[in-house]
Structure 1
C-alpha cells in the first residue's frame, strides 16, 4: 500500500530511540499517522513541528497497518510564530482540535482548506482570532454538530438575533428569549458576519462554540476532555483584551 499527499503536521511523539510517530492532516487522506524513521534527528525534527506544511508518502504492507512516512518540507509555520505568543497559542489550538475532532483516515477536504488558510493567517494579520472563531463554527458543522443561526427558533424571525439555545444550537432573538435570556448562550454579531468585532465578542463566541464542543462532540468521542491548548488560547486572548 502506498499513497502520496500534502498536509499539515498536527502532532509528533517519540517512537523508540530514533524514530517518531507523526500525525498529519492531509487533503485526500484525512488525519493519518505513521512512523518517521530518524524522526528525532537534527535534520528531520524541525520539519515535524505542528502547523508545518509537508509532502508525505505513506507506505504499509496492509491498509490497516500503522505504516511509515517519508516526509519532505514545504512550508515552516512554527518558526514564523515562535515570537508571537498569541499566534503560537492559536497554532497549537488548531492542531490539537483537528486531532481531537476528526476521525482517522477520513477525508475532509473543506475543513482542510479552511484550516490551511487559518494557519497561514497566524502572525500575518491581527484579524486571525475572528477567523479562528468562525473556523471552530465550521469544524462543528463538519463533524455533524453545526449550529443554526439563520432565524429565531421561537419566533421564526431573522431580526434581533442575540442568543443560542444550549440544547438545540439554534439562534434565539431578544424577543424570543424573554425571561429565559440568562439561560441561553451569547450570539455575538461577528458570528453572523455583522458589525465591528471586539475581543470581548470573540470570547463570547468561543463560549458558545466551546459549549457544543464539550457537550455534543466530546460525548460522541467517549467524553474525551477538550484539548488544553484551546483553553490556553482563550486565556491568552482574555489577557490581551
Structure 2
C-alpha cells in the first residue's frame, strides 16, 4: 500500500456505551454520510457512520432548502465533523462541517464506495461503536481514491467488517481437528464455525488452505487467492445478510440520474 493511500491517524478515544450516548449532546464527531433520504418537504434523514458512536440516524432539518448551509455538506465519502442530540434512536443533527483532506471517488472507485456503505448499513447495528472499523473505512476510501486494486481493497474491508461485528471465524484453524489449516488441502468454510476439509456433497465454495492463510495475513497477490477469496466472501456475506440483496449497482444508477 502506498504512503499516499494511508489516512492520517485519528486521535483515539474510548467509545461510550449506548446507554451513555443516547440523549447526550455530541459535537465535533468525525463522521461520514452512508445514506440519506427525504423527510417531509425540507428535511433529510441520514444514516451516518461516526467514529465513537457507530452508525447513527439523524434528521437534518431544513437541509433541502435552497440556502441551507447543510445542502452542500451532507455528501457521501466526504469527512465531516458532526454534532447531534436526541433521546431516541433518531437524533437531531445540530451541525456538520466538511473537514477535507480526501480525494473524491470516481468511476469504479465510486461504485466500490457505495458497496462499502451498503454493507455498513445492512450489517452494522445502530449505536454500536467500532472505532477501528471507522479508521479502516477511512483508509479504504483513500486506497480506492488512489486507484489501488479494488478487488484486494474490498476483500480486506469485507474481512475487517466481519471481524469487527464478531462473526468472522478463524481461517487458520480446521474446525474438525483444531489443527492449523494446511496450504495444500481443500476446505469449505462454515459461516458459523470456520474451515473444514471439503466433502463430496458440499455446495459451499471450495478454497485452498493457501487462500485461507493468505486471507488471514491480508496477502492477496496470488491470482488464485483473489479469485477464491471473492467467492468465499460473497458466500459468507450472503449468509450474514440473511438473504438480503445488495442493491449497490442500482443505487449508483439512481445517483447518476439525479
1:185 to 185, 206, 211: 206
In the alignment, what sits opposite 2:181?
A: 158
Looking at secondary structure, tell me which structure has more helix per residue.
Answer: 1
Unaligned runs of 5+ in 1: 234-241
Give yes or no for contact 1:137–1:147 (8 Å, CA) kept in 2.
no
- 184-193 or 29-38, which moves further after superposition? 184-193
Paired with 1:157 and 1:108, the residues of 2 have a C-alpha distance of 29
Give yes or no for contact 2:144–2:153 (8 Å, CA) kept in 1.
no
- Per-residue Cα deviation, 1:14-64 (whole angstroms, up to 9, x for no partner): 12222211221111111111121332247533322222211111023x355
Specify whether residues 27 and 195 from structure 1 end up closer, same or farther in structure 2 by C-alpha distance, changes over 3 A only: closer
Matches within 5 A, 1:24-173: 24-40=48-64, 41=66, 44-60=70-86, 62-75=87-100, 80-82=104-106, 85-155=107-177, 156-160=179-183, 161-166=185-190, 168-172=192-196
The TM-score normalised by the length of structure 2 is 0.73
Give yes or no for contact 2:33–2:75 (8 Å, CA) kept in 1.
yes
2:231 to 207, 213, 224: 207
The CA RMSD over aligned residues, in Å, is 2.9
The TM-score normalised by the length of structure 1 is 0.77
3-state SS of 1:206 partner: helix
Unaligned runs of 5+ in 2: 1-23, 253-258
Paired with 2:108 and 2:168, the residues of 1 have a C-alpha distance of 27
- 176-185 or 4-13, which moves further after superposition? 176-185
- Per-residue Cα deviation, 1:179-232 (whole angstroms, up to 9, x for no partner): 56775433536414446243x6434323212222222x223xxx5x13221799
Specify whether residues 13 and 69 from structure 1 end up closer, same or farther in structure 2 by C-alpha distance, changes over 3 A only: farther
Specify whether residues 177 and 185 from structure 1 end up closer, same or farther in structure 2 by C-alpha distance, changes over 3 A only: closer
Paired with 2:231 and 2:42, the residues of 1 have a C-alpha distance of 41
3-state SS of 1:91 partner: helix
Paired with 1:119 and 1:162, the residues of 2 have a C-alpha distance of 33
Paired with 2:89 and 2:249, the residues of 1 have a C-alpha distance of 31
Give yes or no for contact 1:34–1:69 (8 Å, CA) kept in 2.
no
Give yes or no for contact 1:93–1:229 (8 Å, CA) kept in 2.
yes
Give yes or no for contact 1:51–1:95 (8 Å, CA) kept in 2.
no
